């Protein structure tokens, strides 16, 4: 069944709490601007050291409200075992056709965790297949207009940075909803930093990207195609 009206922005993450870290501020900002936003987590993070699927799914629903999402879902694919198979691509393709997003945000295509770069591969190929009518004639084709990649943790030059100065605190609230992952636990400080340390680290990264565009906090993105500018007089970010 097709979602009506369709989503404007759909962020796809490998695990619950991925999008909160990488593009949560942007999702909040888009929702505040009146856009319909959604998140699709591919797994429930069941292979994580802390928490269990039931807890993490409940945390994801609570975080969805902090992010002002219109919709959030989970494909329940196997955590730490994501594979770019035809079955995975078709499953995700069906959701993309149902949700009909104009913009899809994916994890960056290179990274430490295999699930993250697999999610980027599966997501991109599913977006392409969603526009091929003969792949599945039982549903209406839909291909997103734009695919963006979160590059917060990638050592690459951003294509652009979104000002999330007004959304940063709410983004942190959404992330720290995941008490199973971020609540202090005795004897686990080396593997799992305290919430104050997590906030300091993420604030430092957001300050770095914000500084690049002359604001307090920013979230970086990469796109593979060249961006088009209609009015060079109205361009943002000073040269001097």
- Position 1 confidence tier, pLDDT thresholds 50, 70, 90: low
Mean pLDDT of 197-203: 95
Name the residue among 168, 169, 197 with its Cα closest to residue 183: 197
Q: Over the stretch 120-138, which tens digit does the pLDDT of each residue have? A: 999 999 999 999 999 999 9
Could you tell me the maximum CA-CA distance found in the chain, to the nearest angstrom? 56
- Of residues 167 and 48, more confidently modeled: 167
Instruction: Decide yes or no: CATH 3.30.750.24 for domain 9-234.
Output: no
- Sign, Cα dihedral of 59, 164, 12, 97: positive
Query: pLDDT at position 193, please?
Result: 82
Q: Over the stretch 207-240, which tens digit does the pLDDT of each residue have? A: 999 999 999 999 999 999 999 999 999 999 999 9
- Position 71 confidence tier, pLDDT thresholds 50, 70, 90: very high
Mean pLDDT of 27-47: 96
Query: pLDDT at position 13, please?
Result: 97
Domain assignments of the chain as residue spans, ordered by start: 9-234
Query: pLDDT at position 183, please?
Result: 86
Listed range (59-63, 187-191, 230-234) with the worst mean pLDDT = 187-191
Kindly give the interhelix angle for 168-176 and 24-32, rounded to the nearest 10 degrees. Answer: 120
* Whether the predicted pLDDT of 52 surpasses 90: no
Q: Over the stretch 144-156, which tens digit does the pLDDT of each residue have? A: 999 999 999 999 9
- Position 96 confidence tier, pLDDT thresholds 50, 70, 90: very high
Report CA-CA distances (Å) from 29 to 26, 66, 119, 159: 5, 12, 24, 19
Q: Over the stretch 97-124, which tens digit does the pLDDT of each residue have? A: 999 999 999 999 998 899 999 999 999 9
Beta strands in the chain (DSSP E): 9-13, 37-41, 71-74, 103-107, 146-150, 160-163, 218-222
Query: pLDDT at position 3, please?
Result: 62
What would the two tokens of residue 79 be?
Answer: 């955590």
Whether the Cβ atoms of residue 40 and residue 175 lie closer than 8 Å to each other:
no
Q: DSSP secondary-structure letter at 138?
A: T
H or E segment to which residue 200 belongs: helix 195-212
* Whether the predicted pLDDT of 191 surpasses 70: no
């Amino acid at each position: 069944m097709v979602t009506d009206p369709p989503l404007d922005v759909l962020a796809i993450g490998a695990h619950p709490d991925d999008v909160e870290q990488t593009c949560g501020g942007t999702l909040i900002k888009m929702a505040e601007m009146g856009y319909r936003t959604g998140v699709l987590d591919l797994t429930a993070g069941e292979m994580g050291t802390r928490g269990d699927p039931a807890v993490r799914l409940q945390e994801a629903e609570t975080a969805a409200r902090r992010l002002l999402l219109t919709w959030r879902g989970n494909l329940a694919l196997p955590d730490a075992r994501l594979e770019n198979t035809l079955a995975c691509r078709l499953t995700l393709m069906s959701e993309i056709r149902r949700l009909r997003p104009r913009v899809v945000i994916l994890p960056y295509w290179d990274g430490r965790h295999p699930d993250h770069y697999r999610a980027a591969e599966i997501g991109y190929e599913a977006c392409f297949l969603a526009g091929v009518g003969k792949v599945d004639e039982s549903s209406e084709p839909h291909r997103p207009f734009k695919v963006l990649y979160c590059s917060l943790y990638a050592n690459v030059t951003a294509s652009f940075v979104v000002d999330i100065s007004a959304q940063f605190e709410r983004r942190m609230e959404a992330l720290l909803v995941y008490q199973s992952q971020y609540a202090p636990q005795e004897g686990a400080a080396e593997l799992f930093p305290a919430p104050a340390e997590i906030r300091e680290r993420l604030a430092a990264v957001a300050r770095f990207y914000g500084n690049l565009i002359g604001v307090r906090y920013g979230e970086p993105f990469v796109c593979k195609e060249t961006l088009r500018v209609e009015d060079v007089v109205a361009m943002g970010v000073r040269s001097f």
